[in-house]
Amino acid sequence: MTSKSLFCKLVRDKVRRNLWALALSVLGFLFAGPLRVVIYFQENWTVKWLADQELETVRQNLINRLPSILSDELACAGLMIMALLCGITLFRFLHDRRQVDFYFALPIRRETLFGVSFVTGVLLVLPAYFVMKFASAAVAAAGIAGLGMSVPLPWGEFFLSMGIDLLAFFVIYSIAILCTTLCGNTAFSSVLALWALSSPFIAGMVYEAYAMSFYPTYSSNSLSASPWFLSPAYGLLMVERSCEGLLYRMYLLCYVLAAAAALALSFVLMRRWRGECAGKAVAFGPLRLPLKLYTCIVVGLAFGCLFSTLFGYSSIGWLLLCTAVGAAVCHCVMEVIYNADTRAMFRQLPMLVVTVAAALGLSLGLSADMFGYTDWLPKEGQLEWVELHNLYLYDGVNTYSLPNYYNFSAEEQLTDPEVVEAMLGLARLGIENQDWRDTSTSSLDYHPEELDAHMEAIIHYRLKGERHVFREYTIPRTEEALALLNTVIYSEDYLKFHNNAIIFGAELDQKLQDNPDWEPFVQVDDVMRSSTLKMLREEGQVRKLLEAMRADVLDFTPAQAAEEGAVFQLYFGYKTGAARDFQNGVSVYPSYRRTLALLEEYAGIVPVPLDADEVTRVQIEDRHDIYDRNGGEAYTGMTTNREEIAQLLPGLVSEYSTDRYGLATDPYYRVRVLLTNGNMTDLVYLEGAVPQALAEELCRNRPQAEGIR
């Protein structure tokens, strides 16, 4: 019998003896493919639903949904499971001494014998998968035809998903084969395969845990998908099927290289296999020590991270103790498995000491930031853009925040060299003052009295190669830090994506082109009186207002921002018939000369200070005890006296202004005014403008039973 005919005979024999795998593949892929598509069409495309929809809406919905219908993760998961089962089952003959002697006695080379088992696994799984995929496409085409529509199938996404599914199969299959040829025991092979797939992710999460606990610049935004992608099972199962982006393609390349390396090593181990290897936990002695060291160190570090939380993560002592215990227990368990004898638990005491010492050394190194996580800054030429992801400012009493406009679009990030340098300057100040993070609170909801004014900034770096890095910095609120921050948030590079008037103006032409029936408008509100003054609907006026607002916003300076409260609030939007779509509002300040001039020209509107004759009642709340005593009570007073009201009104600005960074307001007093028209408005005092004697008289000597209401 020729070698070729013997190869085919052995493949047929293996397929026949493992028909359970073929049956399982057919059954699983039937439910993951055609039946799932049928159920989808039956549940989502009913006659009743279709009767209420326009034909073009249905067609567009189908076009959007078809790629996800035909590229389902369930089929990919099925391929992975079958790859794991076949990889272990078809090579487990190596774990039986009699089967090893039989197969190795055949007139066939071991390389060919390896190919027999490998090809058998492919034949048991992939034909059923291919039939399922094309049957799913046929069912989808039939469903579309049944709806009486002509929608092309997304063949590009279809074949791309098939390619990723096949890659997932061969990656898991190769790892399962490697673990089976490395071990002489089927049970240990299964455990090792699961460990090989999950341990890179565990190691990545351990590093994240150390960063979270010991690195002052760690940001929770850093916990992205990267640790998950260290596991090929998750990376190939849960990622988007578009393959867009250099980083994602690099992950795919790493998976391919890992599969090729695993397959090559399996091939080498197969050639060197000996009959006496059968039955052993690890068949090759030289590989025992590296495997044990890697496993014990990772398990020890993970054990330390997990169980030290029970005693408080701030204690490095508990962390080291739990790490040592985890590494020691893992070492003892692996010695028992290696020797199949419980008495071997402490047989390798010197190795036990070395393993525990290595785990403790790595734990100390990670806790001391051995890789320079805290001091990291992007190198010159490495940065594509930077984003001020979030900013919290604490002035010693209150906390203010800048809004988060988070977007991965490169067009919406900060690229101006001066702004980027200012952001890096803030980062350097955060690194230089990293000890602040040990005394400040991360949530900023509660501030101990001894804390000084500071800011917490989360900076998002986009690096070349599509890498995204987040860092959180706690920075003393010094003149240098405020100057750098002002350079950022008063720049055109920042404002063009963070000021609603500028954003609305930039999108206006495209919006009207896409929606010809839309009509832009602007609503003008008096923030001091909580009332709407005018609605401007003429497109030309709206456009000129937007141009004026843009110019005024870009001319606005930090000095003006410190002493000016908003006088109007403008709401831009679109009108379609009777429906109005309002965008976020934008405040108008006394320094906005161009905008105020146009409002006076178009609507006869000018800023008018609040007068005592317009006010029925004033309530004032004193919060000194809340902030100074960390949990005291507020004192609230009320007056309807015209003379007292006249003394209280000067220096008040709308609370609309307090959300804007830079306004210097008194942190302790809050005012609510009831107007003669029935409206209520909440106001605050500019810094130094509180009529102290009258405020204390009202709040302390004539307090209300309840707070502001």
Which residues are within 8 A (CB) of 320 and not within 5 positions of it... i.e. 6 or more apart? 304, 360, 363, 364
Average pLDDT rounded to a whole number, residues 575-601 = 84
Of all residues in the chain, the percent with pLDDT exceeding 90 is: 20
Residue 361: pLDDT over 90: yes
The pLDDT of residue 337: 85
Compare 226 and 437 and report the one with higher pLDDT. Answer: 226
The pLDDT of residue 99: 83
| 20/41 Cα distance (integer angstroms) | 31
For the CA atoms of 263, 266, 271, 273, what is the dihedral angle to 10 degrees?
Answer: -170
| 272/92 Cα distance (integer angstroms) | 16
Among the ranges given (192-206, 447-461, 487-501), the one the predictor scored with the smallest mean pLDDT? 447-461
Identity of the residue numbered 478? T
| 253/167 Cα distance (integer angstroms) | 10
Give me 118's structure tokens.
Answer: 């490998």
Average pLDDT rounded to a whole number, residues 564-591 = 82
Q: Are 82 and 176 in contact (CB under 8 A)?
A: no
| Nearest residue to 547 (alpha-carbon basis) of 507, 502, 588, 590 | 502
- Model confidence band, residue 392 (pLDDT cutoffs 50, 70, 90): confident
Q: How far is CA 192 from the centre of its chain?
A: 31
Among the ranges given (138-142, 179-183, 601-605, 684-688), the one the predictor scored with the smallest mean pLDDT? 138-142
Query: 552-564 pLDDT, tens per residue?
Result: 999 998 888 888 8
In the three-class reduction of DSSP (H, G, I as helix; E, B as strand; rest coil), residue 535 is classed as strand
Give me 328's structure tokens.
Answer: 């020691």
Q: Which residue has the tokens 């008096």?
A: 526
The pLDDT of residue 484: 92
Compare 53 and 646 and report the one with higher pLDDT. Answer: 646
CA 435 → CA 312, 344, 570, distances in Å? 20, 48, 43
Rounded to a whole number of angstroms, the distance between the first and last alpha carbons of the chain is 97
Average pLDDT across the chain, whole number:
82
Which H or E run contains 239? none
Average pLDDT rounded to a whole number, residues 523-537 = 89
Residue 456: pLDDT over 50: yes
Give me 388's structure tokens.
Answer: 């001020």
For residue 701, the 8-state DSSP code is I
Q: pTM (2 decimals)? A: 0.79
Residue 439: pLDDT over 50: no
Q: How far is CA 182 from the centre of its chain?
A: 38
Which residues are within 8 A (CB) of 540 and not within 5 positions of it... i.e. 6 or more apart? none
Compare 100 and 571 and report the one with higher pLDDT. Answer: 571
| 663/687 Cα distance (integer angstroms) | 9
For residue 551, the 8-state DSSP code is H
Radius of gyration (C-alpha) of the chain in whole angstroms: 34
Q: Are 619 and 638 in contact (CB under 8 A)?
A: yes
| 188/21 Cα distance (integer angstroms) | 21
- Model confidence band, residue 239 (pLDDT cutoffs 50, 70, 90): low
H-only helix segments in 183-287: 186-214, 226-229, 232-238, 246-271
Q: Are 16 and 114 in contact (CB under 8 A)?
A: no
Which residues are within 8 A (CB) of 576 and not within 5 positions of it... i.e. 6 or more apart? 515, 517, 518, 519
| 198/231 Cα distance (integer angstroms) | 6
Query: 480-496 pLDDT, tens per residue?
Result: 988 999 899 889 888 88
Query: 79-135 pLDDT, tens per residue?
Result: 999 999 999 999 888 887 888 778 787 777 888 888 888 999 999 999 999 998 888
**Secondary structure of 607-669 in HEC code, one letter for each residue:** CCCCCHHHEEEEEEEECHHHHHCCCCCCEEEEECCHHHHHHHCCCEEEHHHHHCCCCCEEEEE
| 250/238 Cα distance (integer angstroms) | 16
Query: 345-359 pLDDT, tens per residue?
Result: 788 888 899 999 999
Mean pLDDT: which of 57-66, 478-487, 662-671 is highest?
478-487
Identity of the residue numbered 614? E
Q: Are 655 and 530 in contact (CB under 8 A)?
A: no
For residue 691, the 8-state DSSP code is -
465 backbone φψ class: left, alpha, beta (φ>0; ψ -120 to 50): left
Residue 180: pLDDT over 80: yes
Average pLDDT rounded to a whole number, residues 260-268 = 90
| 168/255 Cα distance (integer angstroms) | 9
| 26/24 Cα distance (integer angstroms) | 6
Give me 186's structure tokens.
Answer: 């089927």
For residue 703, the 8-state DSSP code is B
| Nearest residue to 353 (alpha-carbon basis) of 320, 335, 331 | 331
Identity of the residue numbered 110? R
The pLDDT of residue 449: 39
Mean pLDDT: which of 243-257, 391-405, 578-592 is highest?
578-592
For residue 204, the 8-state DSSP code is H
| 520/538 Cα distance (integer angstroms) | 8
The pLDDT of residue 136: 84
Average pLDDT rounded to a whole number, residues 682-705 = 82
| 210/216 Cα distance (integer angstroms) | 11
| Nearest residue to 83 (alpha-carbon basis) of 159, 196, 7, 3 | 196
CA 617 → CA 620, 636, 684, 704, distances in Å? 10, 13, 16, 13
Query: 459-473 pLDDT, tens per residue?
Result: 989 888 778 889 989
In the three-class reduction of DSSP (H, G, I as helix; E, B as strand; rest coil), residue 11 is classed as helix
Q: Are 549 and 570 in contact (CB under 8 A)?
A: yes
Among the ranges given (244-258, 368-382, 665-679), the one the predictor scored with the smallest mean pLDDT? 244-258
- Model confidence band, residue 541 (pLDDT cutoffs 50, 70, 90): very high
Other C-beta atoms lying within 10 Å of the C-beta of residue 669: 22
Q: Are 178 and 232 in contact (CB under 8 A)?
A: no
Residue 425: pLDDT over 90: yes
| 143/63 Cα distance (integer angstroms) | 13
The pLDDT of residue 548: 93
The pLDDT of residue 404: 45
In the three-class reduction of DSSP (H, G, I as helix; E, B as strand; rest coil), residue 445 is classed as coil
Give me 606's structure tokens.
Answer: 């000018």
Q: Are 600 and 606 in contact (CB under 8 A)?
A: yes
Residue 252: pLDDT over 60: yes
H-only helix segments in 71-185: 73-89, 97-105, 110-146, 155-182
Q: How far is CA 77 from the centre of its chain?
A: 24
Q: How far is CA 587 from the centre of its chain?
A: 31
- Model confidence band, residue 285 (pLDDT cutoffs 50, 70, 90): confident
